[in-house]
Amino acid sequence: MSDIDVRGSLEALRPLGRQARATLVLSEKLESLVGLEDHAKELVARVEALKSEVAAAEGKKARAEADAVAVCAEAKAKAEKTLADADAAAEKRVSDAEKEAKALEVALAEVAATLNADNEVLRQTGKTLQGEVDSLAAKRDAIKAEIESFKAAASRVLG
C-alpha cells in the first residue's frame, strides 16, 4: 500500500475516530449521569428520612408541649388550692383573733367594773374606818382627859 492509500484511509478514518471519541465522551458522561442519578436517589432517600425524623421530632415536641401545658396546669391548680387554703386559714385565724379580742374586751370591761366596784367599796370602807378611827381617837382623848382629871383629883386628895 502506498502512502497515499494509507493517508487516504487515515483521512477516511478520522471522522470515525472523532465519532468514536465523541461516543466515548458521551458514554463517560452517561455513566457520570447514571452515577449522579444514583446519588440524586440517595439524596432523595436521605431527604425523605430527614423529613420522617423532623415529623417524629415535631410529634415529640407537640407531646412535650402538651405535657408541659398539663404540668403547668396541674401546678397552677395546686398553687391556687394552696393559696385558697392559706387564705382560708388566715381568715379563720383573723376571725379567731377577733373573737379572742372581743372576749378580752368583755373580760377587761368586767374586770374594770369589778375594780370600780371594789374601789367604791374600799372607799366606803376607808371612810367608815376613818370615822371609827376618828371616833376612837376622840374616845382616847376623852379617856386621857378623864385620866388627867382623875390624876389631878387624886393629887389633890392625896396631897
What tens digit of pLDDT does each residue of 40-80 get? 888 889 999 999 999 999 999 999 999 999 999 999 999 99
- DSSP letter for 85, please: H
pLDDT tier for residue 38 given thresholds of 50, 70 and 90: confident
Q: What is the pTM of this model?
A: 0.42
Distance between CA 143 and CA 151 in Å, rounded?
Answer: 12
Q: What is the pLDDT of residue 94?
A: 95
- Cell matching residue 95: 376571725
Distance between CA 9 and CA 3 in Å, rounded?
Answer: 10
Of 80, 79, 60, give the one whose Cα is nearest residue 68: 60
Q: Most distant CA pair in the chain: distance in Å?
A: 215
